[in-house]
Amino acid sequence: MRNSVEFQLTGNYALFTDPLMKLGGEKLSYQVPTYQALKGIVESIYWKPTLLMVVDAVRVMNRIQMESKGVRPLEYNDGKNTLANYTYLRDVCYQVRAHFIFNPHRPDLAFDHNEHKHHNIFKRSLAVGGRRDIFLGTRECQGYVEPCVFGEGEGFYDVDDEIHFGTMVHGINYPDETGREQLEVRLWNPVMKNGVIEFIRPDQCTAIRSISDWKMKNFDVSNIQSADELWSELGGE
């Protein structure tokens, strides 16, 4: 696929929180990462407001295992600690395939439309583990990325037919991704076939709930660096 990248994502723990399970202060991870969590990881590798990152698929390499831990989160309203139980995924490994397109809702950033240089910077950033820290759903779960070939190697669920995960959060719609001045949440029903979840695009989600009004952030030549400038700094030609 055009402008695509493929990478392996690993970590000792992950917490892709099911929002229905955190109302009482507890946290329980989904069994698999959400589209939004993976999109955030792709954007940690390389992000520009000029681009829209699209996650195409995730391949679950290791057996899905969970582990519960007692934690003492800080109550910020009174400075006291409380006791909670968080259930994490353990020993995770995924293969991810994603690509980028130019953001159709940001015509003001047309000066930064250099597809070839963006793609090369993206691949170079992936090769060194990303431009920002990688987190698997939450900050205490450190992740690591490295290039791979999607589909290579043996996965734990390669011979399983289908696994249904019920209704899950697909992701969040921001104004600069939709053109609407609304913050929205998307829901869907993922199915894993032979270890692979093929994601539908955000605009294909039909179950969308509005959260609040939201304004698009302003970007221009004064507060972002163009791909041409960044590529020159990196020693590209």
Q: Which domains does the chain have, with CATH numbers?
A: 4-159 (3.30.70.2660)
The answer to whether the CB of 45 falls within 8 A of the CB of 131 is yes
| R_g of the chain, CA atoms, integer Å | 19
Cα separation values, 91 from 56, 61, 140, 141, Å: 23, 10, 14, 11
The answer to whether the CB of 101 falls within 8 A of the CB of 51 is yes
Provide the H-helix boundaries in 145-198: 175-178
pLDDT band of residue 227 (cuts 50, 70, 90) is confident
How many whole angstroms separate alpha carbon 178 and alpha carbon 176?
6
The pLDDT tens digits of the residues spanning 43-78 come to: 999 999 999 999 999 999 999 999 999 888 777 676
138-163 in b/e form (b: 16+ CB < 10 A) is beebebebeebebeeeebebeeeeeb
Pairing relationship of beta strands 207-213 and 182-188 according to DSSP bridges:
antiparallel
All residues at 6 or more sequence positions from 57 whose CB lies less than 8 Å from its CB, including other chains: 96, 97, 150, 196, 197, 198, 199
Q: Kindly tell me if the per-residue pLDDT of 17 is higher than 70.
A: yes
The answer to whether the CB of 9 falls within 8 A of the CB of 96 is yes
Neighbours of 5 (CB within 10 A): 23
Q: What is the mean pLDDT of residues 195-218?
A: 92
Mean pLDDT of the chain: 91
Is this structure's pTM higher than 0.95? no
Question: What stretch of H or E contains 11?
Answer: strand 4-14
Structure tokens at 158: 């390669």
221-232 in b/e form (b: 16+ CB < 10 A) is eeebebbeebbe
Q: Kindly tell me if the per-residue pLDDT of 237 is higher than 80.
A: no
